[in-house]
Amino acid sequence: MKTRNLFFAFVALLVSATGYATETPKTEILSAQDDKILVNYETDKAVLLELTITDNDGVILHEWKSETPQTAVKKIFSLKELEDGTYQFSLKSGSKSLNSVLSIDGETIDIGPLVEMYEPYFAFKNDKLYVSFLNQSMKNVYLKVYKDGEQYNGFNFGKNFDVQKCIDFSMAKSGTYDIVL
């Protein structure tokens, strides 16, 4: 009986230690007065930070990048010049990004819940492109291939949680290719 209790105590200790070892940054996005938002971000590890606000077409309307690795940022952004509508907020921190939706209606700014996303991983070896992506939002994932600025090919990877694909480029002509996931 003592062995079983000791085992369960050890498992509980292990689970709680694992939970505390996982880095969870403290993040707040608050609607402030006069068409402004306050972004407050803290983490234990200093990383380069990048904050962007885009429209629904992906056009960057606000952008801020830290010049040196930071453990915290507290900034106020004025959104006065933005029209009523929906915008995408993204705070990139290392290989993660925190995303939210900003809805502007007059002087009211509604901020949606934060969704943590991991950056995709790309590797190119032996004329093959390997793509790995954790699709936490469970939305359709598309990969577009552009050659010299024009769309060359596209792939729909679906709504799978774990996307791992290999694309063969052995038959592709020489040139400059850009990949967008």
76-116 pLDDT, tens digit each: 888 888 888 899 988 888 778 888 888 888 878 888 888 88
Residue 19 pLDDT exceeds 60: no
Do 29 and 110 share a domain, yes or no? yes
Residue of 22, 56, 20, 25 lying closest to 39 (CA atoms): 25
Parent domain of 136: 120-180
Flag whether 58 is in a domain. yes
The residue behind tokens 């230690």 is: 17
Do 47 and 91 share a domain, yes or no? yes
Structure-token pair, residue 133: 């992506």
Flag whether 8 is in a domain. no
Q: Which tops the pLDDT comparison, 16 or 27?
A: 27
Do 27 and 109 share a domain, yes or no? yes
Flag whether 162 is in a domain. yes
The C-alpha angle with vertex 84 and arms to 82 and 85, in degrees rounded to 5, equals: 100
Mean pLDDT of the chain: 80
Q: Structurally, how many domains does the chain consist of? A: 2
Residue of 136, 134, 129 lying closest to 155 (CA atoms): 129
Domain boundary among 98, 117, 136: 117
Q: What is the pTM of this model?
A: 0.61
Do 127 and 159 share a domain, yes or no? yes
Domain boundary among 117, 132, 161: 117
Residue 171 pLDDT exceeds 60: yes
Tell me how far apart the alpha carbons of residues 51 and 170 are, in angstroms, rounded to a whole number: 37
pLDDT computed for residue 68 by the predictor: 92
21-45 pLDDT, tens digit each: 445 567 777 676 777 888 888 888 8
Q: Which tops the pLDDT comparison, 17 or 47?
A: 47
Give me the residues paired with residue 162 across strands. Answer: 134
Classify 16 as helix, strand or coil.
helix
Give me the residues paired with residue 101 across strands. Answer: 88
Flag whether 3 is in a domain. no
Flag whether 75 is in a domain. yes
Flag whether 71 is in a domain. yes
Domain boundary among 99, 117, 135: 117
Reported as a pLDDT band with limits 50, 70 and 90, residue 117 is: confident
